[in-house]
Structure 1
């Protein structure tokens, strides 16, 4: 498995590269189809004098869904250890889940004859929520100190290409990236949807019912 290391605000030493090579062997044993592991190390210094390092790991391979994990610590070697542990745990959980599903199906199940999904909580989102996001009533703060609505809480934004998949596949992808939710396009309905973990259920699904925009009335 090849490795690629990028440092943001910090230099990457030969010692760190050596440790990464040792850790990559562990991941390769757990995921033999993995072909590439990208490591991003970001160093941040704060006005208070505190410093920390974030290590982000992304594993890709032919026929292998993307697996991600990250960790933060004031020492980048410790952050690397924590991120590798998370990544390994996510891969193990995904393997155990596939074995469990073969023995005793759980979670989302599709009755092809009836066209009904069971084992998940389906919650359609109203158009009002979508409109509030689109119009800025629910703002996204970048964290810039000169913003009118500045807050120390920074909301990270990421953009990805849309992917069509089943609910079951989305659950698997969520487990592999180590998140509590996963955004996708439901291949059965073409609706934007999110799978997530919830109490009392294995998983939940939130779907947006897409509606055509209202036609403007013609004024004679």
Structure 2
């Protein structure tokens, strides 16, 4: 795995860089093949609070975690622990489910187009789309979609429902439960 480590309001020292790389390399043991991904690590300090955010894009899924602590090294340790919990929680179930159909890596293809699109609402106001994502939806059931949503840390997830063959959206409700939006 390659590392892109940057600091906001904090210099990234060699000791800090070594600590981040050493801790993140622990994640390699959860994968059959060495990760061919670039981990983006953002270290920042805001109001004397140390923050670490890690994003690891893999083919078909996104690992992401962030944590804050008074100590930067402790924050790095906590983020790696969160990533390990995410992987352990979902990897066994996901691999079991997709063993017959192929690898989890073939779940969906992500293509991004960063061109901006402006939509005129009236003469005084315009809504602007600043990012467009296109991806191929692989059929899955609602439970799998919820697992994927939680794995990437989002509050909603769009998927092709294997039962209805239609596009659905699962989302996390304010009460901690889940909702499903179906095509009507």
For normalisation by structure 1, the TM-score amounts to 0.55
Aligned partners of 1:183, 1:159: CA distance in 2, in Å?
Answer: 17
Q: Secondary structure at the match of 1:176?
A: helix
Q: CA deviation at 1:59?
A: 1.2
Question: Could you list the per-position Cα deviations for residues 167-196 of structure 1 after superposition, in whole angstroms to 9, with x for gaps in the alignment?
Answer: 5453342232245x33325474345x2343
Aligned partners of 1:52, 1:159: CA distance in 2, in Å?
Answer: 30
Q: CA deviation at 1:159?
A: 6.1
Q: Secondary structure at the match of 1:87?
A: helix
Question: What 5-or-longer segments of structure 1 have no aligned partner?
Answer: 46-50, 103-133, 135-157, 210-220
Q: Which has the higher strand share?
A: 2
Matched, 1:96 2:101: no
* Equivalent in the alignment of 1:79: 75
Aligned partners of 1:99, 1:190: CA distance in 2, in Å?
Answer: 23
* Equivalent in the alignment of 1:173: 148
For normalisation by structure 2, the TM-score amounts to 0.64
Q: How many residues align?
A: 147
CA RMSD across the alignment: 3.4
Distance change (3 Å), C-alpha of 1:194 and 1:93: same
Distance change (3 Å), C-alpha of 1:4 and 1:98: same
- Work out whether residues 8 and 41 of structure 1, in 8 Å CA contact, stay in contact via their aligned partners in 2: yes
- Work out whether residues 50 and 69 of structure 2, in 8 Å CA contact, stay in contact via their aligned partners in 1: yes
Question: What 5-or-longer segments of structure 2 have no aligned partner?
Answer: 99-120, 122-129
Q: CA deviation at 1:100?
A: 6.0
* Equivalent in the alignment of 2:181: 206
State the structure with more CA Rg: 1
